[in-house]
């Protein structure tokens, strides 16, 4: 197999952390989103802040920020980064009973923060599941994806609708 197209593998096919030592420091931003489909009981407990475990979205927001900061502890080949911003917002859609988490992560560094934004969204949605599972074990986490990234040699990426 030819491993030259994958920068996380050396020529022998062994996993390696990419050497970013010669890259320029630039401002890098990534935005990711995903959603969780819930039943009406969970939706209104979250919306009205009446869940027994407390303020679900506040806890999920903290989980997302923590996840962004700790991504390199979970994803083996990610570089530890000094994150300058990690934020998450939630959109509640009453029509389809979904809660969407959108995370933005920013760094001034030599490598991007796409994984940090994706990890933040994942942690936020998992936290919602954890806090509401007594009401609905059939919740479904859906469509986690990168929306936008900027900075670095590859420039701007915007997901097409």
Q: Which residues are catalytic?
A: 130
Q: Which residues contact 98 (CB under 8 A, 6 or more apart)?
A: 35, 36, 37, 38, 92, 142
Going 41 to 139 to 68 to 152, the CA torsion angle's sign is: negative
Burial 32-42, CB ≥16 within 10 A → b, else e: bbbbbbbeeeb
- Across 14-139, the runs of DSSP E, i.e. the strands, are 26-37, 83-93, 98-109
């Amino acid at each position: 197999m030819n491993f030259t197209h994958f920068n996380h593998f050396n020529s022998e096919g062994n996993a390696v952390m990419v050497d970013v030592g010669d890259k320029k420091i630039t401002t890098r931003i990534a935005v990711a989103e995903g959603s969780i489909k819930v039943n009406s009981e969970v939706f209104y407990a979250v919306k009205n802040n009446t869940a027994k475990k407390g303020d679900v979205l506040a806890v999920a927001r903290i989980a997302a920020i923590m996840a962004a900061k700790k991504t390199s502890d979970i994803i083996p080949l990610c570089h530890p980064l000094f994150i300058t911003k990690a934020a998450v917002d939630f959109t509640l859609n009453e029509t389809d009973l979904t809660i969407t988490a959108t995370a933005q992560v920013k760094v001034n560094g030599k490598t991007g923060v796409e994984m940090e934004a994706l990890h933040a969204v994942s942690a936020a949605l998992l936290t919602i599941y954890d806090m509401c599972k007594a009401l609905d074990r059939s919740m479904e986490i859906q469509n986690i994806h990168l929306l936008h990234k900027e900075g670095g040699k590859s420039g701007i990426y915007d997901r097409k609708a």
